[in-house]
C-alpha cells in the first residue's frame, strides 16, 4: 500500500518528462493558436440506412465541409447514446446537441404533436409536406422554446402499416384481443381501442424483443422501419393501411444553438436546409425500396385492402377525431385536413 505511492510518483514524472521532451528533445509545439473544434453530438434511434440515418450523415458531411472542420458532428444511431425516453432530457440539458424524435414522442412537451396520429389524416406525402410548411407547424416548433429546445426542421419518414404475428388483418374485427406496441401518447392508445385492440408504449430500441417475446402481438410502422429493424423475422402479417404518419422534428439545445458564432450558425443552418431536402428524397426512395424488400423476403404476408375495406377502417377509427379535438384544437386539425385538399 505505502510502497505504491513512490512508484506511482516516479512513473508520473517519467510520463510528464517524456511528453514535455516530445520529438527532438524540445517541448511539444504549443497549440495556442489551434482552436478546438466544436463537437455537435447528434443522437437518434434508427439504423443508418433509414431516411433519418442518411440525412443525419448528410448533415454531418455538409456541416464539417461548410465550417472547414471547425464543427465536428458525431452521429450516434440505433439508440447507442440515448433511447426514446432519455434523448429529450439529454437535449434539454445539453448532453447532446441534436436529436430527431418522431413528433409523436414530443407529446409530453406539447400534446398537440399527436396531430400526426389521427387516423387517415393525410392522403399523401404532398399533403404532409404542405402541413410541414404551415403556420401551425411553426407554432408547434415554437412551443418547444420554453424547454430550452429549438425545432429546426421536419424530416419525413412515411406512412405506417400494421404488422402482427397472429392473423391477417383484413377487417377491424381481426384486431380484437390483440396487443400492439405504440410509440407514445393517448391518440395511438385510442386508435387501437377503437379497433378493439390493446396497446402498450414501448421504446423503439426494445420493440424487437417485445415482439419476439410476445409481450405484444403487433406494431405499426413505416416500411423502412419494419425492414431495417427486421420485424419480418418475427412478424408474419402486414396490412397495407397507410393509416398514420411517422415524421421527425429536428431539435437542438437552444442555449447551444443561440450561442454559436454567426458564421458557424449560418453554415449549420444552411447544412440543415440541404439535409432536409435530402431527407425528403431519401424518405420516398427508401419507403419504396423497403416495401420491395419486405415483399421479396417472402417472410411477411402482405394484405392489400380494397377501397371498401379501407373505408370500414376509416369509419371505425373516425371517433378518435372528436375524442381529441379539445386537446389538438379544431384549428390544427382543420389546417391538416386542408393541406390534403387540392
- Minimum separation from the CB atom of position 29 to ligand LMR (A): 44
Q: How far is the CB of 184 from ligand LMR (least distance, A)?
A: 8
> How do beta strands 218-222 and 149-164 pair?
antiparallel
C-alpha cell of 184? 407514445
Nearest approach in angstroms of CB 113 to ligand LMR is: 12
Q: How far is the CB of 335 from ligand LMR (least distance, A)?
A: 23
C-beta of 260 vs 300, nearer to ligand LMR: 300
Distance CA 120, CA 116 (A): 9
Tell the smallest beta-carbon distance from residue 186 to ligand LMR (Å): 16
Minimal distance, residue 207 CB to ligand LMR, in Å: 7
- E-only strand ranges, 226-330: 237-240, 245-253, 301-304
278 C-beta neighbours (distance < 10 Å), count: 19
In the bound complex, what is the minimum distance in angstroms from residue 290's beta carbon to ligand LMR? 12
| Helix, coil or strand: residue 322 | helix
Asked if 37 contacts 72 with a C-beta cutoff of 8 angstroms, the reply is yes
CA angle 226, 57, 117 (to 5 degrees): 40
Q: Compute how many other C-beta atoms are within 10 angstroms of the C-beta atom of residue 48.
A: 14
Backbone angles phi, psi at 171, to 5 degrees: -130, 160
Distance of alpha carbon 176 from alpha carbon 193, whole angstroms: 9
In the complex with ligand LMR, the residue whose CB is nearer, 75 or 267, is: 75
Number of Cβ atoms within 10 Å of the Cβ of 285: 13
Quick check: helix, strand or coil at residue 319? Answer: helix
DSSP secondary structure code for residue 217 in this structure: S
Instruction: Kindly state the smallest distance separating residue 173's Cβ from ligand LMR, in Å.
Output: 26
100 vs 335, beta carbon nearer ligand LMR: 100
Closer residue to ligand LMR, CB minimum distance, 67 or 102: 102
**CB nearer ligand LMR, residue 72 or residue 129:** 129
Q: Which residues contact 307 (CB under 8 A, 6 or more apart)?
A: none
For ligand LMR, the closer of residues 283 and 328 by Cβ is 283
Binding site for ligand LMR (CB under 6 A): 45-46, 102, 157, 183, 204, 221, 225, 246
> Which residue number, 248 or 260, has a Cβ lying nearer to ligand LMR?
248
Residue number, 73 or 106, with CB nearest to ligand LMR: 106
Nearest of 150, 130, 126 to residue 140 by alpha carbon = 150
Cell reading at 283 = 424518405
Amino acid at each position: 500500500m505505502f510502497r505504491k505511492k513512490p512508484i506511482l510518483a516516479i512513473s508520473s514524472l517519467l510520463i510528464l518528462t517524456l511528453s514535455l521532451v516530445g520529438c527532438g528533445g524540445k517541448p511539444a509545439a504549443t497549440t495556442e493558436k489551434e482552436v478546438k473544434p466544436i463537437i455537435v453530438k447528434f443522437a437518434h434511434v434508427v439504423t443508418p440506412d433509414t431516411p433519418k440515418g442518411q440525412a443525419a450523415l448528410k448533415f454531418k458531411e455538409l456541416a464539417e465541409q461548410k465550417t472547414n472542420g471547425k464543427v465536428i458532428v458525431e452521429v450516434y444511431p440505433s439508440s447507442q447514446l440515448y433511447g426514446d425516453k432519455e434523448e429529450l432530457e439529454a437535449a434539454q440539458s445539453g448532453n447532446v446537441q441534436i436529436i430527431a424524435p418522431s413528433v409523436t414522442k414530443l407529446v409530453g412537451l406539447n400534446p398537440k404533436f399527436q396531430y400526426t396520429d389521427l387516423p387517415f389524416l393525410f392522403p399523401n406525402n404532398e399533403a404532409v409536406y404542405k402541413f410541414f410548411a404551415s403556420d401551425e407547424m411553426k407554432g408547434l416548433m415554437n412551443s418547444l422554446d420554453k424547454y430550452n429546445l429549438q425545432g429546426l426542421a421536419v424530416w419525413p419518414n412515411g406512412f405506417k402499416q400494421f404488422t402482427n404475428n397472429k392473423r391477417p388483418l383484413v377487417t377491424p374485427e381481426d384486431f380484437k384481443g390483440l396487443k400492439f406496441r405504440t410509440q407514445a401518447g393517448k391518440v395511438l392508445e385510442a386508435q387501437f381501442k377503437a379497433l378493439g385492440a390493446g396497446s402498450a408504449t414501448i421504446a423503439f430500441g426494445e420493440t424487437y424483443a417485445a415482439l419476439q417475446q410476445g409481450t405484444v402481438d403487433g406494431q405499426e410502422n413505416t416500411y423502412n422501419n419494419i425492414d431495417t429493424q427486421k420485424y419480418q423475422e418475427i412478424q408474419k402479417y402486414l396490412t397495407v393501411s397507410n393509416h398514420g404518419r411517422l415524421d421527425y422534428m429536428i431539435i437542438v439545445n437552444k442555449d447551444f444553438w443561440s450561442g454559436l458564432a454567426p458564421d458557424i450558425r449560418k453554415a449549420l443552418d444552411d447544412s440543415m436546409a440541404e439535409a432536409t431536402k435530402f431527407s425528403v428524397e431519401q424518405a420516398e426512395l427508401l419507403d419504396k425500396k423497403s416495401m420491395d424488400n419486405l415483399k421479396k423476403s417472402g417472410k411477411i404476408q402482405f394484405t392489400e385492402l380494397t377501397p371498401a375495406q379501407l373505408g370500414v377502417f376509416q369509419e371505425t377509427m373516425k371517433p378518435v377525431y372528436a375524442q381529441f379535438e379539445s386537446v389538438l384544437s379544431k384549428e390544427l386539425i382543420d389546417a391538416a385536413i386542408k393541406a390534403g385538399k387540392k
